[in-house]
Structure 1
Amino acid sequence: MPASLPPLNALRTFEVAARHLSFSKAAQELCVTQGAVSKQVQLLEQYLELPLFDRLHSGLVLTDAGRQYLPAISQALETIQSATASLQQSMHASDTLTLNLTPSFSNLWLIPRLDQLRRDMPELKLAMVTGDGAFQFQGAQADMAIRCLPLSLSHEHSTLLKEEVLLPVVNPDLLRQRPIDSPEDLLAHPLIRHITRPQLWRQFLQRMVGGEPTAPRYSHGFEHFYMSLEAARCAQGVALVPDFMASQALARGELVNPLGLAYRSGYGFYFLVPPYRARSVGVQRFHAWLALQLA
């Protein structure tokens, strides 16, 4: 007998046919034709090199080999079914999905919208952990991730949620002290640095002011946008913050974008999903919700 395992579909067909002692009833249970049942049984008999049924005019009868084989096969199939159901149940015992995302996306955008998410997807629970930079799912214990990355088509297992558009935002009290009537007037204010992307202000000023602007006066530097936005709210200077992250502070009048300037940085916010989670209904629905909210 070959050392490899017999075909699983043939084993399943044999178990059903043996239980009913009828190819026609087995076909009904398996939703296939009677001919398909017969073919699968023959395939298993050829594999075993033993007959499993005696085909009599009065119907099917198990051979000695069939009677010996059936209990073990029934138990094995039940074990497989039970193990599969147990695994699926343990993996989906709750609808909690682990999301690894940048602190700024979490603090400035997602957390303020959790009530809306609960109304739109009441069955979903998120377990949120923060991270930044390149992300690898291997060993990360996450179902999905959100990262700010250079715009590219080469990011694996990722979908662009929103292009990064940066706004210069400032406390209105500072604006009253030193009005900003042109892009050059930004240089009269301290500029809050983004220490992990120190080129942002230089690129912004070259685009908006043109040429090589007067040396800017920098304020403190911060690692994350949510820190820069809070510093701007506390009148520490002008910060560059993504438009959707600054929207609530702008709507409340805590910050203003004095000239309505906007700068496309060449970065974007990407939704990342490992291949083994890509077909999850919860992941797909959450992805669609994010895309809709950010549109």
Structure 2
Amino acid sequence: MDRLPPLNAVKAFEVAARMGSFVLAAAELGVSAAAVSQQVRHLEQFLERKLFVRAGNRITLTDAGHAIFPQTSRALNDIAAMTTRILEGDLHSRRLVISLPFSLAEPWLAPKLSALLEVYPHLAIDIRVEDDPVDLVRHDIDIRVSYGDYHYPGLEAVHLVRDEALPVCTPEFWATHGNDTFNLTQIPQNLFIHTHWGASYASGPTWHDWFSLIASNYYPDPKQGVRCGLSSLSVSLARLGLGIALGHRLIAQADLDAGRLIALSPVSLPLGHPYCAFVPAAKKSRKDINLMMGLLR
């Protein structure tokens, strides 16, 4: 067999030539621009030809680059098509790896999986519950769902939904502690459940934010009542009758629909960031991933 150039270098060249930029190529490949440039230099050394004219951050193809780019692009597309045919014909041996925060796993993701399994009944699914940031490449993650679009700057952030928070409690709790006008300013401060998002987040909704939204100067003291570190746990505590939670709708909706919880106000507080999905560029053509992404939107 004739000598073959290093595949990683060929791929780096093809993406850089197609995008016209090492920076944009790096974003698609999920590596640094310096790594792309280094791979291109390896290919240039292998071929003993200059493939790009470099002028600061700008690159243009040389005659040699123009000569090999079309064939390189076709060859990589053929390899990708062959890989897709093999993988799509053997779905039962593949695992779809979905990574997301704890709060979304049961109330939001689980109901969506049934639709996917109707299409791919033999598909193995690995659900990983973990906080950001996550190394998608090292841990072979197919889809990462995160709060916010800023965790993985090298990947496209697909906006899924912007959640909202609203006051919820059980009907029994309100019958005991509430009032006919649903006036939360008359509720003792120790009956409010507070969610502490942790030091890494400054945009989590608080009771102070919600009461400010309704132009009230009544602010429940977070030092009183129950305080927890998970938005899903605050809804669970409210479901158990332990107080009034500022529940996220994505988490509380099933309980609201079933009557286990009631909304105490039509006023809801939008979260500071949307939930977003990230898929490594090399996996975007997989049918199971694309179907799952469609279900998540």
TM-score normalised to structure 2 length: 0.61
Structure 1 match to 2:156 = 157
Structure 1 match to 2:134 = 135
Where do 5+ consecutive residues of structure 1 fail to align? 7-80
Structure 2 match to 1:271 = 277
Change in 2 beyond 3 A, CA 1:230/1:188: same
In 1, distance between residues paired with 2:94 and 2:137? 21
Is 1:231 matched with 2:237?
A: yes
In 2, distance between residues paired with 1:272 and 1:178? 44
Change in 2 beyond 3 A, CA 1:153/1:231: same
In 1, distance between residues paired with 2:103 and 2:226? 18
> For residues 22-81 of structure 1, what are the alpha-carbon distances to aligned partners after superposition, in whole Å with 9 as ceiling and x for unaligned?
xxxxxxxxxxxxxxxxxxxxxxxxxxxxxxxxxxxxxxxxxxxxxxxxxxxxxxxxxxx9
Deviation at 1:290, TM superposition (A): 1.4
Higher relative contact order (CA 8 A, sep 6+): 2
Whether the 8 Å contact between 1:98 and 1:143 is mirrored in structure 2 is yes
Change in 2 beyond 3 A, CA 1:256/1:184: same
Structure 1 match to 2:44 = none
Change in 2 beyond 3 A, CA 1:155/1:191: farther
Which one of the candidate residues 199, 205, 222 is aligned to 2:211? Answer: 205
Whether the 8 Å contact between 2:177 and 2:187 is mirrored in structure 1 is no
Which one of the candidate residues 247, 250, 256 is aligned to 1:250? Answer: 256
- Equivalenced residues, count: 215
Q: How does 1:1-295 map to 2 (within 5 A)?
A: 5=4, 94-119=93-118, 121-122=120-121, 124-149=123-148, 156-180=155-179, 181-186=182-187, 188=189, 190-197=191-198, 200-211=206-217, 213=219, 215=221, 218-291=224-297
In 2, distance between residues paired with 1:160 and 1:167? 22
Deviation at 1:107, TM superposition (A): 1.4
In 2, distance between residues paired with 1:95 and 1:252? 36
* SS of equivalent to 1:141: coil
Change in 2 beyond 3 A, CA 1:220/1:179: closer
Deviation at 1:149, TM superposition (A): 2.1
> For residues 238-265 of structure 1, what are the alpha-carbon distances to aligned partners after superposition, in whole Å with 9 as ceiling and x for unaligned?
1122212211101111111122221102
CA RMSD of aligned residues (A): 3.6
Structure 2 match to 1:28 = none
Where do 5+ consecutive residues of structure 2 fail to align? 6-78, 199-203
In 1, distance between residues paired with 2:229 and 2:220? 25
In 1, distance between residues paired with 2:116 and 2:147? 22
Whether the 8 Å contact between 1:178 and 1:188 is mirrored in structure 2 is no
Identity %: 17
In 1, distance between residues paired with 2:276 and 2:96? 17
Whether the 8 Å contact between 1:170 and 1:232 is mirrored in structure 2 is yes
TM-score normalised to structure 1 length: 0.61
